[in-house]
Amino acid sequence: MCIKKLTFILLIVITFSCAIKKEEDLYIDSTYKQEVSFITVNKQIGIADTTISFLSGKIIENRTHKPIQYCKILLTNIKTNEKVGKITDFNGKFSFTVLADKYYISFNHFDYLTIKDSIKLGMGELREINATLLHNKE
C-alpha cells in the first residue's frame, strides 16, 4: 500500500514539474503595432498537463471599443504550414484548441487593417490574446 501511495505522489510531482514553463516561453515573440492596431492582452491564464494548447480572445474596434463580428483569425503552424481558422462571434470573441507549437497568427476583417504576428503556445497552456483593429478608412 505504501509503494502505491509513493508512486502516486511521485507521478503527481513529475506531472507538475513537466507543466512548468520558462517565463520567456509564455509571451508572444514580438508585439506588433501598426498605427493604433495592436494586441492589447497576451497573457497565460493557466497550465494543464497535455500536448494541446487553448487560445482565446476578443477583437475590438480602436475608436469605439465595440466588438468586431466576423473577424477572421488564422493560425498557421510554422513547422508544418497547417492552417486553422476561426471567425469571431457576435461579441467579438474566438477560441482555438490546437497542438502546442509555434504559429503565425493573423486578424483579418475587410473593414479593418490586418494584424500579423507569431506566437508560441506551450503544452497545456491557456492563452488569451485580445486585439484592437484600426479601421481601413482612417
* Mean pLDDT, the chain, whole residue set: 76
How would you list the strands of the sheet with 52-61, edge to edge? Answer: 33-34, 37-47, 125-133, 52-61, 93-99
**Domain ranges in the chain?**
2-133
- pTM for the predicted model, two decimal places: 0.65
Cell 501598426 maps to which residue?
Answer: 34
Contact predicate 25/102, CB 8 Å: no
Between 3 and 76, the higher pLDDT residue: 76
Q: CATH top-level class for 2-133?
A: mainly beta
Q: What is the DSSP letter of 76?
A: E
Which of 5-9, 99-103, 113-117 is predicted with the least confidence, judged by mean pLDDT?
5-9
Q: Is the pLDDT of residue 114 over 80?
A: yes
Per-residue confidence at 137, pLDDT binned at 50, 70, 90?
confident
Cα 110–Cα 35–Cα 138 angle in degrees, nearest 5: 50
In angstroms, how far is CA 93 from the centroid of its own chain? 12
Between 86 and 34, the higher pLDDT residue: 86
Residue type, 91: N
Q: Is the pLDDT of residue 92 over 90?
A: yes
Q: List the beta strands (DSSP E) in 19-137.
A: 33-34, 37-47, 52-61, 72-77, 83-87, 93-99, 101-109, 112-121, 125-133
